[in-house]
Amino acid sequence: MAIKAVPDETVRHFLTLNDLSASEFRAIIHRAIELKAMQHRGEIYEPLKNKVLAMIFEKSSTRTRVSFETGMAQFGGHAIFLSPRDTQLGRGEPIEDSARVLSSMADCLMVRTFEHEKAELLAQYSSVPVINGLTDDVHPCQLLADMQTYFEQRGDIKGKTVTWVGDGNNMCHSYMRAAKLLEFKLNIACPEGFEPQQKFIDECRNNIEITTDVSAACTNSDLIVTDVWASMGQEEEQNTRELAFNDFQVTTELMDLAKNNALFMHCLPAHRGEEVSADVIDGSQSVVWDEAENRLHAQKALLEFLLLD
């Protein structure tokens, strides 16, 4: 009998934040907050019993892997970790064939990879929802958790000012799209030559301002966010990037320019003494541990949204 998987335009994927409307984004955030409370009360809730999530990781991960695996287990389902090292993906089996086969068995796929187009190709040939667990271009799952964290701490982010300090990378691009969807202002302070990609600038230009003046960008901000100077895949650029980003460390001096109740976020893993000083990330304005925990709750809300709605 033929395998059931065929390209299906009706399947809902989560490859970027643009796959959500603003109201869906907010609904997922609010549901994540509810699921977190249920989890903390010890309530058993297993809406995905017998469902399987197949996870392809072509880059390293701690949070993304553990949050999806734990979330599926808590939901009564199961997650499978697939690495190119020990699957046929690493030996050149086409992504289209892998998509057809995996989606004929699993109920949802997750992929962390380099080229964003690879995640798109997987989705194109998958008969089940595909979740982007990070590509070179975007990291939408992290934004679900970051926005949940902001809403929990301070309420809706609409009309607030957020400052991105550092590389115009995948995290920055996802912040840009979140700014457009949730209607906040995003200041982006980055060194010359490390700006976000032009297509993201064009798409989000009404909500962003790009500058090299990191102090001006942080002044009166409600939330300061940063990320590593060299992302996965850029390891050999570490030394040149350390020089270029030297003035782009989030310090207490920068935090002091922001609003008194400003928060600090970082998707982690962090490098203390590079993109952030130890006293900021370990200080009272930092919410990085809530942010990391919320990966679990936000992605459970996402799985419910994609698999039950």
Known catalytic residues are: 112, 139, 142, 227, 267, 295
Cα end-to-end span (Å), the chain: 29
The entry of ligand CP, ligand NVA, none that residue 38 binds, CB within 5 to 8 Å by partner kind = none
The entry of ligand CP, ligand NVA, none that residue 249 binds, CB within 5 to 8 Å by partner kind = none
User: What are the beta bridge partners of residue 286?
Assistant: 264
- 171, 153, 184: which is closest to 262 by C-alpha? 153
Residue 234 found at the interface with ligand CP (CB under 6 A): no
Q: Sheet holding 130-132: strands in order across?
A: 78-82, 52-57, 108-112, 130-132
Smallest separation, CB 139 to ligand CP (Å): 6
| Cβ atoms of residues 110 and 133 within 8 Å | yes
The entry of ligand CP, ligand NVA, none that residue 227 binds, CB within 5 to 8 Å by partner kind = ligand NVA
By CB under 6 A, name the one of 268, 271, 285, 293 that touches ligand CP: 268
By CB under 6 A, name the one of 63, 177, 180, 300 that touches ligand CP: 63
The count of residues interacting with ligand CP (CB under 6 A) is: 8
Q: Per-residue string for binding with ligand CP, 107-146, x by CB under 6 A?
A: ---------------------------x-------x----
Length of the chain equals: 309
By CB under 6 A, name the one of 7, 18, 30, 62 that touches ligand CP: 62
Residue with tokens 């603003």: 22
By CB under 6 A, name the one of 64, 149, 187, 231 that touches ligand CP: 64
The entry of ligand CP, ligand NVA, none that residue 62 binds, CB within 5 to 8 Å by partner kind = ligand CP
What is the rounded CA–CA span in Å between residue 188 and residue 219? Answer: 12
By CB under 6 A, name the one of 11, 19, 24, 61 that touches ligand CP: 61
Nearer to ligand NVA, 160 or 173 (CB): 173
Say how many C-beta atoms besides its own lie within 10 A of residue 84's C-beta. 16
Cα 163 to the center of its chain, rounded Å: 17
Query: Which stretches of the chain bind ligand NVA, using CB under 6 A?
Result: 134, 139, 169-171, 227-228, 231-232, 267
- 20, 7, 249, 236: which is closest to 132 by C-alpha? 20
- DSSP helix/strand/coil, 11: coil
The entry of ligand NVA, ligand CP, none that residue 116 binds, CB within 5 to 8 Å by partner kind = none
Smallest separation, CB 167 to ligand NVA (Å): 7
Q: Sheet holding 208-211: strands in order across?
A: 208-211, 185-189, 161-165, 223-226, 263-266
- The burial of 85, by beta-carbon neighbours within 10 Å (0-12 exposed, 13-18 middle, 19 or more buried), is given as exposed
By CB under 6 A, name the one of 5, 48, 178, 267 that touches ligand CP: 267
Sequence-distant (6+) residues with CB within 8 A of 103 are 5, 109, 125, 126, 127, 128
Nearer to ligand NVA, 75 or 150 (CB): 150
Smallest separation, CB 291 to ligand NVA (Å): 11
Residues that bind ligand CP (CB under 6 A): 61-64, 134, 142, 267-268
